Amino acid sequence: MARSLLASASYVLLIGTLGIGEAFAFGVPKIPGGGQLPGLGGGGGGTNAITDKAKTKAAKTILKDVGKIAFRGGKIVASKQKWACDKLGKAQKIVVAINNADLLEQVSDLRETLYCGLTDPIPAELLAPEEIKGDEKENFAS
């Protein structure tokens, strides 16, 4: 056992002295002299999920969706107001996390326009008329 331990220690010392030990450090092959093998650099698609660019895109997508769904003809759709406020709350958290002042202002303005977090009722002139579904229409026989 002492002989194999001595042989192992000699082997490690020899590799360390010659600089060969760096060639396979941490399982990533390296070319002696400091270079790396091509194609093993890392990065790429998986890192996009944690970048500010991805978070900015997510916040802009939320703003776009809210603009399409919560408004009709420039007026607020009352049935979509709570949903829109919840989405804008998520967008606001994202924007605060990435510290983007322009987007924060857009989100705050849209939350204000939708009366998010306010206890005052939305004025009737700002509400879009709700569409009545076919089964809710009254059909009177004439």
* 33 vs 88, higher pLDDT: 88
List, for residues 89-133, the tens digit of each pLDDT value: 999 999 999 999 999 999 999 999 999 988 888 888 999 987 766
List, for residues 50-66, the tens digit of each pLDDT value: 788 889 999 999 999 99
Strand partners, 76: 71, 127
Residue with tokens 């890192």: 47
List, for residues 3-53, the tens digit of each pLDDT value: 555 555 555 544 555 555 454 555 555 556 666 555 555 555 566 557 888
| Cα maximum dimension of the chain | 109
* 112 vs 140, higher pLDDT: 112
81 vs 113: CA distance, rounded Å: 10
Average pLDDT, the chain: 76
* Inter-residue contact 55 to 63 (CB < 8 Å): no
Q: pTM to 2 decimals? A: 0.57
84 vs 118: CA distance, rounded Å: 14
Question: Which distant-in-sequence residues (6+ apart) come within 8 Å of 67 by Cβ?
Answer: 110
